[in-house]
Chains A and B, each alone.
Chain A
Amino acid sequence: DGGITQSPKYLFRKEGQNVTLSCEQNLNHDAMYWYRQDPGQGLRLIYYSQIVNDFQKGDIAEGYSVSREKKESFPLTVTSAQKNPTAFYLCASSMTATGQGDNEQFFGPGTRLTVL
């Protein structure tokens, strides 16, 4: 079955530690995205990638980093510079990132990160 997988489902981190969230898709999509979800705030875009070896900052990129070495993988690292990292993180993909803007984004099941 085609889809997006995220691991782990739950992640606990001590303050000052970096942590990497995994996102893999087998939909053969070019574009991938990372969102952060906080209660009552909807989803906010952290980073996006339109193609392998290319990515751009979203609205709240500070304290995060990404890589896109393979088409199917788009890991997100939450660094110690992120002051309030506790949140639900969602990865998504779409066929392309450009065009008329009507390409559906498919979402993974999410990773809940808690900083202790």
Chain B
Amino acid sequence: QVQMVQSGAEVKKPGASVKVSCKASGYTFTDYYLHWVRQAPGQGFEWMGWVNPHTGGTNYAQKFRGRVTMTRDTSITTAFLDLSSLRSDDTAIYYCAKDSLPVAGSSANFDFWGQGTQVTVSS
């Protein structure tokens, strides 16, 4: 069965960086885009971007360009989200989510999600 297991909660100071991991299993990791989505406290969802696990190619939301890096390690079927220059409004739950269709016909709706990683930015 498909599983997406994320790393644990993080507390960071403003200006620091955070790296969140997402270990995927139960499907062919390189066949599906891996998206990152965040949810601020009491708020809706914000799509941050995707990584193509096959090529390493990425597409980031304009809002996060320059501060975000999405990578993957195919040997351990794990994707990573790096977010730098953290601010208090980056406090959120960060989710990885698997695209529902293979890369060739990517749909950008998300059929499996990680459990979420709480990132708290506080001085």
> Are A and B subunits of one complex?
no
